[in-house]
Structure formats: structure tokens, C-alpha cells
Amino acid sequence: MRIRWRLRMAAAQREVWTGTELRRLLADKAGLELSAASVSALLTKEPAQVKLSTLIALCTALQCTPDDLFEVDTTPVESPAAPRPAGEPKVVNEHGRSLPPL
């Protein structure tokens, strides 16, 4: 599964072109105060995670739905990882932590 972050597109469709404009909207319409760096990161990077409160604030400020902010690709994975055969020991590193199968 792959998620594409589309905040920049959603903002542009609502004529919000800069981080400063988005930051002002978030504060005025949703009551969310984010730093300029945080807003810039939301616009320029694909985040690994987004707080639900931030997602709600973005939807409120941009008058959109979460579907406007990201797209989920649900294409099945071609070949699932094979399970480790029963009885096969886990491979661990020098710290005693399990390592992914090779």
C-alpha cells in the first residue's frame, strides 16, 4: 500500500500558494498554531505520519476532506513475504535484536 500526500495540490486548488498563507489559515479557521518550519515540511515533504488533530485542522482550514489531502494506492503486493519455517532460529544482531529475514 502506498500513500501519496497531496496537500500542495489541495492548497493550490483553493488558491493557497505559500506556507505563510496556509499557516494563517490554520490559525484563523482551525485554531492550530504551527511553526513556519512545520508548515513548510507539510507542504514540501511526504510525512511518515500526521497527527489526527493536524489532519482535521488542514481539512477545516482548506474546507476539504482527507480524500483531498492524500491518495491511497491499494494495489496488492505482488508476492507476500514467505513465513520463516518452523524451527528455524531467529537471526539476531550483537544487541540481541531480531533482524529481518534475508
Q: pLDDT of 28-85, one tens digit each?
A: 999 999 999 999 999 998 888 899 999 999 999 999 999 999 888 888 877 766 676 6
Contact 1, 80 (CB under 8 A): no
List % helix, strand, coil for the chain (3-state, nearest 5). 40, 10, 50
What was the pLDDT predicted at 11? 92
Question: Domains in the chain and their CATH numbers?
Answer: 2-73 (1.10.260)
**Please, which pLDDT band fits residue 4 given cuts at 50, 70 and 90?**
confident
| Nearest partner of 21 among 29, 49, 98, judged by Cα | 29
- The x, y and z cell numbers of residue 30, run together, are 482551525
pTM of the model: 0.69
How would you class 62 by CB atoms within 10 Å of its CB: exposed for 0-12, middle for 13-18, buried for 19 or more?
buried
